[in-house]
Amino acid sequence: MCLAVLALQTLPGIPVLIAANRDEFHARRTYAAAQWDDAPDVYAGRDGVAGGTWMGVTAGGRYAVVTNFREPGQHRADAPSRGALVEDFLRGVTPPADYLAAVHVADQAYNGFNLIVGDTRQAWYLSNRNGAPMQLAPGIYALSNHLLDTPWPKLARTKAAFSAVLRHTPQPDLPALFSALADRNPADDNDLPATGLPQDREKLLSSPFIVSPDYGTRSSSVLALSDDGSGQLDERRFAPDGTVSGESRLTFSWRSEKAADMLG
């Protein structure tokens, strides 16, 4: 996942709304969003190489999102999968704060990442390039390939478009949210971040939706958890030329783990 915007505890009746793009090499095997056969409470796409996922949700109302931290030349091939950080949270029952505290102890073993984990009551953020976990207050947040809310052009533009959609009702407005994620306009040369990549590569990666033969936006997703106990994960998948290659809609009922414990 390389771009995600989250509205947490800000929308009436929808405590969690996430719109996100996953950018990846087109040759990397990937499975579409689905209810996992080996973990029926989990709804997510799946990496066909390392087995983890970039974003997902559970029938207990838990969710997680990870993005890579861009730092050319520092990638370690022997590092553990960052997608496993999302998978392990979704498969488990550890509260978000405790989970990130445990991850933080060993987070330098991983290549650079940003990770948000939460449920309908709380959310926590950790980057292994920026110190200890922090709890997120209600609000709108955005992640790209630097730290939380770093105002790279693609992030600032998508966050503004997402916020504009939220000013209208009803929510979630799926066509408008997918439109916000579909922006293919690159940043101006003077606004490109300096991450150590060649300028033409920085230019390619500066649009919210990336199109190129080898690497680009593989999928766009919108996740909504509602107070009425309904959940929905919509995924739109893309071919290397940016055309739609498939779509999935997963609907489910969720209940918090606290409520489940009370019900026995």
Both tokens of 225, joined, read 């958890």
pTM: 0.95
pLDDT at 54: 97
pLDDT at 149: 97
CA 15 to CA 121: how far, in whole Å?
8
pLDDT at 169: 82
pLDDT at 256: 62
Q: Give me the domains of the chain, ranges plus CATH numbers.
A: 3-263 (3.60.60.10)
Q: Mean pLDDT of successive 10-residue segments in the chain (264 residues)? A: 94 97 97 97 97 96 97 93 98 98 97 97 97 97 97 96 93 96 96 93 96 98 97 98 98 71 37
pLDDT at 257: 53
